[in-house]
Amino acid sequence: LEHPNIIPVHDFGYFTGGEMFFTMKLVQGRTLKDIVRGLRKGEPAVHAEFTLVKLLSIFVQVCHAIRFAHSRGVVHRDIKSSNVMLGDFGEVLVLDWGVAKVLGRAENVGDSGVATLRTQNADATMVGVVTGTPAYMSPEQAAGKVNEVDERSDVYSLGALLYEILTWRAPFRGKHFRQILAQVLTQAPIPPRKRSPQNNIPVPLEELCLACMAKRPDERPAHAGAVIEAVQGYLAGVEDLDRRSAMSEVKLEEGIDLVEQYRRARGKVTTLRETLMDLEWQVEGWAGPERKRELWSRQAELAEYESQMHQRFSDAAQALMAAIGFNPGNEDASNELARLYWFKLREAEDAGDEGQIIYYRALVEAYNRGMFDDLLRGEGRLIVRSDPPGATVEASRYLEVDLQLTPLTDEQLGRTPVNNVPLQHGAWQLKLSQAGYRDVVYPARIDRGEVTDVVCRFFTDEQ
């Protein structure tokens, strides 16, 4: 069997005492079993080097070796993690072909049953009617049905190997090999995602693993090539997902930068509008061109910055939507887009534009992933202090009645100092009462997510 993933045998012969020997390539490295043990122990270096994608690429190479052997009419019969060697230079080699079966050739199994000096070790290879390693062997191998062992028996063992790669544990465990054989014959393996929920095992890989380990050979994938196709299909999806995730991050960074540019342009527009308002008060309508030149210059500058602001908003929204399109699970992009729409919602609220309020609130809610939960509830905080302290505080929210703001919905807030009381955003009237002093009526505006701090001083009638 000459294949890049099968350790080559250079020579063989017999010692003078009659024992057979093989001369094979010397490979230095670790077995897959060593790697799985390191993962199970939580060794940082092993976790950093052997990601799931890398382990699956190793598994695919094992499958290629087995597929090649099957094409030559050879069944391995002892596929397990300790028989997979990982060389120091990226080699993946399937070892120990000593119990392999050549299909179509009669096998003399004798009457000895399980006869080997190694049968007391549940992880060791057994030779006899039952051949292989209990935790990895197919039910037909465990039952000693030698004539039923074929390529699909190795497919089962590949499934058991995949199980160990996914869960970091063999599919069946027991103190003695006979306990494990009984489990192989009568029990289904615990599903990988249930066995090791902390490993976040992908559903398609669990399904493939369990399909390979079906008790009936005709319910398993027909050959190792089918297993290869399934794993490569998953890896192709992961590669595309990684590519899309990387593109999503690129677009997110672009969007964050554009949001910041929009925020700066918005601040500049606000400043220019205030400056322009002052100039409009200062320059009379009948003034000549010399007096109006600065006003016109500011108006042109404002128009330019408003155009920039609208363009940056559009560019930022498109970049962040692209980030979400590449990766719908990118919560940072969703929250950043919600933040962009939040700016617009606040503008609409300041302008009292009900239609825009409804529109942008819906967009904030659609993209919010937790960042704006408190703000969307529309609450702010109120602090009330008085001199002297101990005054009772009554709060009434202003609501529109007959086109007039009227204080309604009285709420008793307790005695001063009142600290961090949550109130719905909007206009409120506070009434503070203190024995021996005149009542104080104070208007207060509560903004979303903001703290309004009110300080009142009482006066007597004489004062």
Q: Output the domain CATH number for residue 424.
A: 2.60.40
Q: For position 113, what pLDDT does the model report?
A: 36
Note the pTM of the prediction, 2 decimals.
0.60
Asked if 360 and 414 sit in the same domain, the reply is no
Residues 133 and 116 occupy one common structural domain: yes
Whether 56 and 81 share a structural domain: yes
Question: Does residue 291 carry a pLDDT above 90?
Answer: no
Assess whether 215 and 318 both reside in one domain.
no
- Residue 426 bridge partners (DSSP): 446
- The radius of gyration of the chain's CA atoms, rounded to the nearest angstrom, is 38
* Residue 90: predicted pLDDT: 83
280 with 371, same domain: the answer is yes
Q: Out of 328, 350, 375, pick the residue that ends a domain.
A: 375
Residues with Cβ within 8 Å of residue 316, at least 6 apart in sequence: 255, 258, 259, 261, 262, 340
Domain boundary among 325, 350, 375: 375
Q: Is residue 246 part of a domain?
A: no
Beta bridge partner(s), residue 64 = none
| pLDDT confidence band for 123 (50 / 70 / 90) | low
pLDDT classification of 13: cutoffs 50, 70, 90: confident
193: DSSP letter? H
Please check the confidence at residue 117 and state whether its pLDDT lies above 50: no
* CA 171 – CA 184 distance, rounded (Å): 9
**Residues 265 and 332 grouped into a single domain:** yes
Q: Are residues 383 and 434 in the same domain?
A: yes
Number of domains in the chain: 3
Question: Is 80 a member of any domain?
Answer: yes
DSSP, res 132 = B
Predicted pLDDT at 228: 96
pLDDT of residue 4: 85
How many Cβ atoms from other residues are within 10 Å of residue 83's Cβ?
23
Across 284-298, average pLDDT: 70
pLDDT single digits (tens) 149-194: 999 999 999 999 999 999 999 999 888 888 899 999 999 999 999 9
Distance CA 17, CA 372 (A): 82
Q: Where in the sequence is the domain holding 383, given as residue range(s)?
A: 377-457
Q: How far apart are CA 49 and CA 56, in angstroms?
A: 13
Q: Do residues 29 and 176 share a domain?
A: yes
CB of 460 within 8 A of CB of 436? yes
Q: Helices in 50-121 by DSSP H: which ranges?
A: 52-71
211 and 98 in a common domain: yes
Instruction: Tell me the three-class secondary structure of 237-287, residue by residue.
Output: HHHHHHHHHHHHHHHHHHHHHHHHHHHHHHHHHHHHHHHHHHHHHHCCCCC
Lowest mean pLDDT across 30-39, 105-114, 430-439: 105-114
Residues 326-350 have a mean pLDDT of 92
| Top mean-pLDDT range of 121-135, 355-369, 415-429 | 355-369
Would 244 be classed as within a structural domain?
no
pLDDT score for 28: 77
Neighbours of 25 (CB within 10 A): 11
Residue 287 has pLDDT above 70, yes or no: no
What pLDDT shows up at residue 330? 94
Q: Which are the catalytic amino acids?
A: 78
Mean pLDDT of 309-329: 94
Kindly report which listed range (92-101, 186-195, 243-252) carries the lowest average pLDDT score.
92-101
**Is 132 within the bounds of a domain?**
yes
Q: Could you tell me if 86 and 106 lie in one domain? A: yes
Give pLDDT tens digits for 397-415. Answer: 887 777 677 777 788 999 9
Binning pLDDT at 50, 70 and 90, where does residue 7 land? confident
Judge whether residue 433 has pLDDT over 60: yes
C-alpha to C-alpha distance for 63 and 158, rounded to whole angstroms: 7
Q: Among 19-33, 242-256, 432-446, which is the least confidently predicted range?
A: 19-33
Q: Which of 171, 200, 222 is the last residue of a domain?
A: 222
Same-domain pairing of 363 and 413? no
Q: Does residue 36 form part of some domain?
A: yes
Q: How many residues does the chain have?
A: 463
Between strands 379-387 and 451-457, the pairing is parallel
Assign residue 136 the CATH number of its domain: 1.10.510.10
The stretch 37-43 carries a mean pLDDT of: 95
Q: Is residue 463 part of a domain?
A: no
Confidence of residue 118 (pLDDT cuts 50, 70, 90): very low
Does a structural domain hold residue 235?
Answer: no
pLDDT band at 288 (very low <50, low <70, confident <90, very high): low
Position 110 confidence tier, pLDDT thresholds 50, 70, 90: very low
Percent of the chain with pLDDT over 70: 91
Q: Residue 231: inside a domain, yes or no?
A: no
Q: Could you tell me if 300 and 193 lie in one domain?
A: no
